[in-house]
Amino acid sequence: MEPLRIADKQLLSFRESQAHINIWEGSVRSGKTWATLFRWIDYIINGPQTGDLAVIGKTSGTLERNIIKDLQYLVGGDLTYLKGSNPRLKLWGRTMWLLGANDERAYQKILGATLAGILGDELTTWTESLFEMSLSRLSVEGAKFFGTTNPDGPAHWLKKNWLDRKEEIDLKSWAFRLEDNPFLAVGFVENLKKQYTGLWRKRYIEGLWCLAEGAVYDFWDEALHVIDRIPVAEYYIVGVDYGTGNPTAYVLIGINSVSKPRIWAEKEYYWDPKKTLRQKTDAEFSRDLKQFLESRSLPTAPVVAIYVDPSAASLKLQFKRDGIVGVKDADNSVIDGIRTVARLTVNGDYKITRGCRQLIEDKSNYVWNERKAKVGEDEPLKQNDHSQDAERYALHTHFGSEGAVLNYNTLL
């Protein structure tokens, strides 16, 4: 085990975090989570010794990735992770309840709790009502809240109602930048910066609270991101966006772990009932999907997953009735999905072949909803988005994890 290291900014925030509410915000990989974990361990030892504790993140999966894994690294075998319907951690006789902020039950679970401390992760993904409820349950004398977040829009409730009012309330915050983590290798930092452009670079690299405005994929350049040659696929995935009065789109995506690019949009299907003046039935869409899959350039390469709009219940049922295998609910996390598509595109991992005309056309016309941004919400405008949704369903559901595996053989 390598010796534990803590940077000057982390140590400063560790010492100063004596307020009722303590928030670390700023760039990715800047050391803010590491600082909160040191502080959390110290708090378990030296804070109030009565009352339970809670660890709250966006989902149970992000808690495992962002918090639990590093906490296990720091305290070793003393930490017990109990999964199940009521997941929790046990450490030195204390119970830490684990809650996902996007779980509707999280609010109810906190409602009746009496807590001595809360460790919060990805605070901008919470609702303000959950944040306020969690603070109200810190009723043990001396109880404290410790949380981390990346920046969002300047009108986000966390910034507007809390961080900007820290002089009026018992709240301290620290803004972290990449430069505050001196232990990152220069090459890693340079590669990290290349992964983010536009809005994401401003927020996740520069640590700025800025509006989502203009084109969603503001880095899009047809000369860089569109290819004429179709690589040889190891396997395929498909994204499906379903509309009744709106367009229905399929995007066939090929993957080959050793080709350049490694991921590409090979074909598309797009049916717009407003232009054709006819709405197809689920049976017709199912028939069209079969024909769409049969005409792929390498029929011997398997289609391992068909990621469908999770709200399209009738269409998924029709697919299964017609013997289409591999149908799965897509992960419809819009902002996370857009970030995945952006990362793969900017990295050069993902390209679009010239034949996907609708997908290419929609790229530069897919824009942020500026009205929503002004009230603190990141949301694309519901225009020119159907091909983009189908693409996002496939790419984010399949490759949303930073450590996603691209080799088909490892999936068997």
* Whether the predicted pLDDT of 241 surpasses 80: yes
Q: How far apart are CA 284 and CA 241, in angstroms?
A: 15
CA distance 94 to 102: 25
Look at 11-25, 61-75, 104-118, 141-155 and tell me which has the smallest mean pLDDT: 104-118
User: Does residue 155 register a pLDDT over 90?
Assistant: yes
pLDDT of residue 92 exceeding 60: yes
Q: Which residue has the higher pLDDT, 355 or 193?
A: 355
First-to-last C-alpha distance (Å) of the chain: 33
Q: Which pair of structure tokens corresponds to residue 169?
A: 């309330």
Select the more confidently predicted residue: 296 or 360.
360
101 pLDDT band, cuts 50/70/90, is confident
- The dihedral through the CA atoms of 15, 16, 22, 24 has a sign that is negative
Task: At 164, give phi and psi (nearest 5°).
Answer: -75, -10
Q: Starting from the edge strand earliest in sequence, which strands make up the sheet with 303-308, in order?
A: 226-227, 350-353, 263-271, 248-255, 235-241, 303-308, 327-329
Fold assignment, 8-184: Rossmann fold (3.40.50)
The stretch 68-84 carries a mean pLDDT of: 93
pLDDT attached to residue 198: 85
* Separation CA 169–CA 255 (nearest Å): 52
Q: Please say if the pLDDT value at position 401 is more than 90.
A: no
For residue 412, is pLDDT > 50? no
Task: Identify the band that residue 411 occupies on the pLDDT scale cut at 50, 70 and 90.
Answer: very low
pLDDT band at 405 (very low <50, low <70, confident <90, very high): very low
Share of the chain above pLDDT 70, in %: 95
Secondary structure (DSSP) of 198-258: HHHIIIIIS-------SBTTTT--HHHHEESSPPPPSEEEEEEE--SSS-EEEEEEEE-TT
Question: Residue 107: what pLDDT?
Answer: 66
State the pairing for strand pair 88-91/235-241: unpaired
Is the pTM of the predicted complex or chain greater than 0.95? no
The yes-or-no verdict on residue 169 having pLDDT over 90 is yes
pLDDT at position 3 is 59
Mean pLDDT within 45-64: 92
Output DSSP code: residue 407.
Answer: -
Q: 261-293: per-residue pLDDT in tens?
A: 999 999 999 999 999 989 999 999 999 999 999
What is the residue-averaged pLDDT of the chain? 92
Instruction: For residue 2, name the pLDDT band (cuts at 50, 70, 90).
Output: low
pLDDT bracket for residue 297 (50, 70, 90): confident
Q: Is the pLDDT of residue 406 over 50?
A: no
CA nearest neighbour of 43 among 94, 88, 77: 94
* pLDDT attached to residue 407: 42
CATH annotation of 222-411: 3.30.420.280
Indicate the DSSP class of residue 293: H
Q: What share of the chain is helix, strand, coil (3-state, %, to 5)?
A: 40, 20, 40
Provide CB contacts within 8 A for 21, sequence distance 6+: 135, 144, 145, 147, 162, 169, 170, 171, 172
Q: Residue 336 phi/psi, 5° resolution? A: -60, -40
Mean pLDDT of 255-262: 93
Quickly state the pLDDT bin for 404 (edges 50, 70, 90): very low
Percent of the chain whose predicted confidence (pLDDT) is above 90:
81
Residue 345 has pLDDT above 80, yes or no: yes
- What residue spans define the domains of the chain? 8-184, 222-411
Assign 111 a pLDDT band (cuts: 50, 70, 90): confident
Mean pLDDT of 356-378: 94
Average pLDDT over residues 320-330: 96
Q: Where are the alpha helices (DSSP H) in 59-161?
A: 60-63, 69-75, 104-111, 128-136, 157-161
The first and second tokens of residue 2, run together, are: 């390598």
d(CA 316, CA 327): 7
pLDDT value, residue 303? 97
More confident residue, 401 or 287: 287
State residue 102's pLDDT score: 78
State residue 110's pLDDT score: 76
